[in-house]
Structure 1
């Protein structure tokens, strides 16, 4: 599903108005009427004689709110409009709707300063529903002035329902970050297309339930703008996932080579293999330090083990890669990194593999840590690379704080992907996939149950599995992050959000894939 930034939405609106010829006042009418219908469906059908307050800014967002007020008034609801600022400063289509509302004798009050606000607080506190039509998607600087007084009141004092128009006031449309302070909505009704900032955290947490209203923007207008942000949903997955032929055999289902594990971290290696097998690969070989092979022979049943030369501390040594190359194993992808350790010789092995491997590489955990201070080695790779850090690993490699990673997650992911020509999978709530062409894919599945050790190792195996099955690295990454989250969603439906293990997640992968295939049929 396509997502838009504020600038892209402005361009689409402009094309609709100027090139297609649909007047702006019509778009505002469609937006306000659609918002009214959803507000009625969500709240008013269940509230007896509700008191409704509509807080309007002086821009188009406020104009949308005035249209909502008109429909509410027409249906007999008790509604009051509060303009933040002077009515005389409202322009264009919003001014037209203000004039109409006044002629309909809708109760409209100006709140010009904090004293005016304080006088109206008791009324607002008594409202069953407040419609937030203060600030729209065009906001790019921190909230200030009177708005900075109103938003904390809504969040901290007011206890009723809040419905935000287009976007919670104060939320960045592009990053999902609060611009100083943001309304915490129960329902957000956005227009035309979902905004990028509504699809990522922390924005998801401010939006509440999200509904999209079709305001009659034609497809030509949408197609006129190059949209490079996408939300991964089951509809997108159905276009990628291919049926398996009836005569498929294990060799054709793909062979994955996993290089992982060290003392104390044999579980990481096991989970990669489990993720690989549970998502459909036909064969898995685990390359493991030779002294740890007896442990993995017991832990793993379906995966084959390959004892390899090790260092003095039982981690994979540089000669391990030589043995792999001599082995003749016909693997289609290498999953590299989970539990490897950061022993200098092991790190040297990782770099050697990056420069010499002739199959795609999925690099995670200690494979990523090995790149700290030497990311340029990625440019020497002969094969596609998928890097799968969580924010902490990304911060270590980039030498910046995890906080900065989270704040600039989309821009940073895009930059790294472009600079090093890799696929960058930033693991987090709403995992982000960045492609070298600048496209961003945001995952829609997953939940807090996934905040447990080993789930990232499982994801590494899933990506490798789909590559081995014949999907290209982009397709494999999209499929993997979606099913990774969906597997957890299905587990949570049955068990709740507490207590899921990485093994549980892996065990539900076949059900997740079946869920999408069944819905397609």
Structure 2
């Protein structure tokens, strides 16, 4: 499914009106009908239900007036609170305001404290609040009077339904500068907006519905829109079905260079995840003094000792063996728990420039790229990088907070500049490609905020590449399968989930996707 920016949605609406001849008031009517229908589905029989609609003076308020009309016709007791003056309402919104005025629907202009006293009394006895204040027309910080409205709505502990985008949420980034409506449900139109899928916007949106308001299909499927949502259906078409005569040599050979003193667990998790995601064989290259430890940690994974420069740390002496083992494999992973020894970092950079297999770069290998990201353009194939926000921040000289404030933009720009696939991990993981295309993952949960979960993702992606998926496909399928495995584990509770739990759930996650084919 395509995902749009606020500007792209405006362009779609403009094209629907100007190029296809659909009057704007028809789109507003369709939007209001859809919202009213969803409210009825949520609340049940509407007869005598008390519903308060908070409307702004723009088109989002116009949608709210249409909703008021249809709810009134279905027997609900509707009150409309217009935050501002009727004289500020224009165009299609004004037409619909005049209609509900003629119908005798209760409308109160909220312009002073006395009006607010009436609002608070009405809210106390209402069954549902509807946010039709600003929609996608909001950026920056809310004004004081609007903050008062939002805070009052949130304090009422009522079902809140937001129209298009909850007031206070940036429709592009999902950021909240001051306060925002904490919606129980959000009904958005035609396509989901970025900010409804990214946190914290997704938290304020509640349960999300995408309503069809009659926008021509060619507009909502426009390939020029470069944001997408990863769904199970997308991944189903990517996964390889195992042939009856398959053998371990035909299911992919993965080579992992990982681990250092105190961080052997990361190596074990990445290698084991590659196995559990379906790879035929996995070889783990690790510093020779840690080799015996790894042989006890992993059973199905083969281990190979590599020359070390100090106990547990790799240097240039290991390069020739790494190169040899990479040529015997279909894909290579470098970085999980590898360490940051001063001689390990140049080794990583040399591997990135010379390895002739698809490459997944994670953790300490990302640290080796700080100040050296231009090397990525010299890689023999398009590398896959899997940074969390802190790692990404170091690579682009920002803070983790700044990265999270505009995840899509930063991931996209890095992918384009570095000629790489960027998987920016976090609550909603973002996958960006060098052509500017971006995908937002729809699976996963907060229980996956546990040490080692990122190492598992790295292993999954490598395992999928080994089985024949392109790096592009493996990145998308990998993040979705990773999240879905976490969702399977979370059915028994999120608290206490550990990375190895996610690994154990991988076969069930993959089977579930394939069964839905």
Aligned residues: 517
List per-residue Cα deviations over 1:464-498 (Å, max 9, x = no partner).
111111111110000100000000101111x1112
Change (3 A) 1:219 1:328: closer
List per-residue Cα deviations over 1:35-75 (Å, max 9, x = no partner).
00110111243x88432110010111101100110011112
Match of 1:83 in 2: 82
User: SS in structure 1 opposite 2:337?
Assistant: coil
User: SS in structure 1 opposite 2:183?
Assistant: coil
Q: Provide the alpha-carbon RMSD of the alignment.
A: 1.5
- The CA distance in 2 between the partners of 1:243 and 1:121, in whole Å, is 59
> Post-superposition shift, 1:327?
5.0
User: SS in structure 1 opposite 2:186?
Assistant: strand
1:503 pairs with 2:500: yes
- The CA distance in 1 between the partners of 2:196 and 2:406, in whole Å, is 15
**Aligned 8 A contact 1:258 1:335 in 2:** yes
Match of 2:32 in 1: 32
> Post-superposition shift, 1:148?
2.2
- The CA distance in 2 between the partners of 1:217 and 1:322, in whole Å, is 59
**Aligned 8 A contact 2:254 2:329 in 1:** yes
1:267 to 258, 261, 265: 265
Matches within 5 A, 1:111-190: 111-155=110-154, 157-190=155-188
Match of 1:387 in 2: 385
> Post-superposition shift, 1:223?
4.3
Matches within 5 A, 1:27-106: 27-45=27-45, 49-106=48-105
- The CA distance in 2 between the partners of 1:242 and 1:361, in whole Å, is 20
TM-score by length of structure 2 reads 0.97
- The CA distance in 2 between the partners of 1:132 and 1:158, in whole Å, is 13
> Post-superposition shift, 1:225?
6.7
Match of 2:301 in 1: 303
Match of 1:318 in 2: 316
- The CA distance in 1 between the partners of 2:142 and 2:308, in whole Å, is 57
Match of 1:371 in 2: 369
Change (3 A) 1:224 1:309: closer
More moved, 103-112 vs 115-124: 115-124
1:276 pairs with 2:274: yes
> Post-superposition shift, 1:415?
0.8
2:237 to 236, 239, 245: 239
**Aligned 8 A contact 1:276 1:461 in 2:** yes
1:462 pairs with 2:465: no
1:431 pairs with 2:422: no
User: SS in structure 2 opposite 1:83?
Assistant: strand
More moved, 270-279 vs 387-396: 387-396
Change (3 A) 1:130 1:413: same
> Post-superposition shift, 1:117?
2.2
More moved, 465-474 vs 134-143: 134-143
- The CA distance in 1 between the partners of 2:192 and 2:315, in whole Å, is 49
Change (3 A) 1:225 1:511: closer
TM-score by length of structure 1 reads 0.96
User: SS in structure 2 opposite 1:131?
Assistant: strand
